[in-house]
Structure 1
Amino acid sequence: MEIVDPRVDPEPSGWAKFRKRAATAPMWDYSLLRVEAWLSRNPPVLAVVREGGRVLGACLAMLCGPARGQAFAPHPPRRWRPPAPCWAEVYLPWFSGHPAVVFRGHVPEAQQRALLRLFERRLAEHVGVGLLGVVYRALPTGLAGAASGPRRPRREIDPTTVLANRFDSVEDWIAALRPPVRQAVRESRAVAAELDVTAGAGRTDLDAAELAALLNEHRARQDARAWRSGQRARVAGLHLDTRSPVPTAYLDALVRRPEVTTRTYRNGTGTLLGFHTLIDGEGGMAMPHWAALPAERGGVARLSVDAYARCVGNLVERGRPELTAGRTLLDLKAALGFDTRTLVSVAVPRPVLGR
């Protein structure tokens, strides 16, 4: 097993081939990992395990420091220095409903367990004595079983939302909704028809700084609302959010990728009212980002409903098996026909690592 720092280490050999088979989401692209690592206060490292020379699996782990106030992580040290306390979160920060552990093909649970224990030992060696432990966040139940064990607390967290494609058309999907929801969908589509709605894959016409500002404002507002309401568990654990603000450079690279569709909503004066990204792959579609201007600043109510309706249209048109849409707004998505997929977190304190 090798552990690489995307900021300074070259892409592991065989990584591109492994990505095509097992880690198809663009978040696993090494160039995007490099941008994310340089612009994060909790930079990720990539652990790659091989079998006979080929890549068999991988884990992505953010190294998180307590009460770290700086905007970015310190530069990778060129020589040894006293270790600072940190913990590792095995987590895809911009794809939180999907695991940061992937294997090629079918790997039995017993082998997965052994490989995760090996990862923990190698990570402890890589980080040093300052590593406090590892938290596996947002694992599906199968992988959670491999990560679990004695003295490894686990708990079910907010699920991710999934819409199975069992529709012949968008109208077929609308017909399956409850009457009040059908009306809300039609009203949102009528409102959106009065706006400038533009969508395309690999877009080069967007101002990534504009997108990042809206997305980070949306995240901050959502976090503040969670604290005020006292319903923190309903907002996907944002009170424990260790992610950095979404970097402009990261979004700029993401929306230019051919498998990523970006849909923007603007009013007659050109103001950006909302946008979302949609990732397309043979295994399914995913909507990792959504942000909208609040009503008090000129935003449009229920704009997200139109966005979900258009994503369902893309789902049906491309014939993909499912659409995943993250871990927030669970009640809204349930009304729109989404089911949930169970996710589990597993905590591994330092004395238990590798056991």
Structure 2
Amino acid sequence: MRAEIFVPGGGAAPDGWDAFVRAGRAGVLWEEALLEAAAWASPRPYFAGLIRDAGEPVAAFCGRLGVFPLVRRFRPAGRAASPGWFQTRLPYSFSGGRLYGPQLGRTERRFAVRTFERALRRRLGARCVGVLHFAATAAELPDLAGPARLRRPIAPTTVLRTRWDSMDAYFAELPRGRRRRLTALYERVGDDPELVSVVAAPAIDPVRASRLDQLTRMKYTGRPEGVAPLPPGYFERLNERPGAAYFAHLEKGAGLPVSFDLVLDTPEGWMTTVTGAAGGVRDLYFDLYLREIEQLIVTGVPAVDFGPGMRAIKESFGGEPLARYAVVAPFAPW
């Protein structure tokens, strides 16, 4: 096996990159155009690698150098401000940045991981002190195991699995107090004369989405001044591609979003990622969950991954925690 390392936003992806990620139904965020757009907004440099075996793509990796930025400014693509850990992570999602072809068994996947790590060290040199494999499931841990590697649990993600045939059946399964509150919320927001609820729309106003995302992330971080906005071009590219949809509330007159949740197709069902909401109307975030659950039931999608964070709230909607781990692979000193 051999690895081809490239910098999203700083050079073209290797031949066959998009074809490989599409064949594996990896999700639209893996495509070169979306990796490039994500790199525009990141103060930390992203790198990606395609692994070939006998000339054919068999695995892909993506991540960023530096878990925490040490400077609050952008740098040229592929330039790091200081040495750090490389974190395998898909930009603006809760997923680890590792993708394997279906033909790879356990031994081959482990070899693909080592091939990427060696190529990454050659490319980054002393700037990279090791690899932090982020958001690994229990099933993936053997692929990442090895001498001198540390494994630690991280915040679980919350997955809601479709098991109802109607919203009435969904509400009926909830505890009485929770059922009454969510039913009232669902009806109140649905009947709001100033709002239009949008379900699985293929596109959204990119400028407004960029602003709502930035405001929401600023609200929930201790460093609001360090939140880099996702540029409108990121949403413009998502709007052009299948595999991404928006649940949203729009102003009835202007048609601009006042809240939204980006939902992506994955092999397991759906995954929520970027979200945003303006102030002024309460409970829109919770109503988006209910609209997504309703659409799960209607379409027969098996599950939705709501991501980590706010675990108690997400479990109150019927979600279940799914354990995730970080595996630390330090590099030996040069």
TM-score by length of 2: 0.88
Is 1:329–2:327 an aligned residue pair? no
Q: Number of aligned pairs? A: 327
Match of 2:151 in 1: 154
Q: Write the letter of the residue equivalent to 1:34.
A: E
SS in 2 for 1:263: strand
Contact 2:70–2:81 (CA<8 Å) still a contact in 1?
A: no
Is 1:116–2:113 an aligned residue pair? yes
Contact 2:150–2:329 (CA<8 Å) still a contact in 1?
A: yes
- The structural deviation recorded for 1:282 is 5.5
| 2:245 aligned residue (261, 265, 270) | 261
Match of 1:31 in 2: 33
- The structural deviation recorded for 1:305 is 2.2
1:168-219 deviations in whole A, cap 9, x for unaligned?
122222222111221122111122121222345322xx43222122212211
Distance in 1 between residues matched to 2:69 and 2:18, nearest whole Å: 35
Is 1:198–2:198 an aligned residue pair? yes
Is 1:293–2:291 an aligned residue pair? no
Match of 1:56 in 2: 58
Classify 1:179/1:23 alpha carbon distance in 2 versus 1 (closer, same or farther; 3 Å).
Answer: same
Match of 2:73 in 1: 71
Contact 1:276–1:289 (CA<8 Å) still a contact in 2?
A: yes
The answer to which of 28-37 and 106-115 deviates more is 106-115
Match of 1:343 in 2: 324
| 1:174 aligned residue (154, 171, 180) | 171
SS in 2 for 1:40: coil
Q: Write the letter of the residue equivalent to 2:84.
A: C
1:311-352 deviations in whole A, cap 9, x for unaligned?
112212221221111112211111111111111011222218
Moved over 6 A (4+): none
Contact 1:201–1:258 (CA<8 Å) still a contact in 2?
A: no
Match of 1:210 in 2: 208
Is 1:3–2:5 an aligned residue pair? yes
Contact 1:255–1:277 (CA<8 Å) still a contact in 2?
A: no
| 1:16 aligned residue (15, 18, 31) | 18
SS in 2 for 1:351: coil
| 2:88 aligned residue (81, 87, 90) | 90
Is 1:105–2:102 an aligned residue pair? yes
Q: Write the letter of the residue equivalent to 1:187.
A: A
Contact 1:36–1:43 (CA<8 Å) still a contact in 2?
A: no
Classify 1:114/1:344 alpha carbon distance in 2 versus 1 (closer, same or farther; 3 Å).
Answer: same
Is 1:136–2:118 an aligned residue pair? no
What 5-or-longer segments of structure 2 have no aligned partner? none
- The structural deviation recorded for 1:160 is 0.9
SS in 2 for 1:309: helix
Distance in 2 between residues matched to 1:83 and 1:120, nearest whole Å: 21
Contact 1:93–1:243 (CA<8 Å) still a contact in 2?
A: no
- The structural deviation recorded for 1:38 is 3.1
What 5-or-longer segments of structure 1 have no aligned partner? 228-237
Distance in 2 between residues matched to 1:243 and 1:102, nearest whole Å: 28
Distance in 2 between residues matched to 1:256 and 1:47, nearest whole Å: 25
- The structural deviation recorded for 1:121 is 0.9
Contact 2:39–2:77 (CA<8 Å) still a contact in 1?
A: no
SS in 1 for 2:198: strand
Distance in 2 between residues matched to 1:129 and 1:282, nearest whole Å: 37
Q: Write the letter of the residue equivalent to 2:245.
A: T
Classify 1:106/1:244 alpha carbon distance in 2 versus 1 (closer, same or farther; 3 Å).
Answer: farther
Distance in 2 between residues matched to 1:184 and 1:177, nearest whole Å: 10
1:266-294 deviations in whole A, cap 9, x for unaligned?
45665743111122355311221222234
Identity level (%): 24
Q: Write the letter of the residue equivalent to 2:212.
A: L
Contact 2:29–2:91 (CA<8 Å) still a contact in 1?
A: no
TM-score by length of 1: 0.83
Match of 1:314 in 2: 295
Distance in 1 between residues matched to 2:217 and 2:81, nearest whole Å: 32
Distance in 2 between residues matched to 1:139 and 1:243, nearest whole Å: 26
The answer to which of 280-289 and 181-190 deviates more is 280-289
SS in 2 for 1:223: coil
Distance in 2 between residues matched to 1:132 and 1:285, nearest whole Å: 34
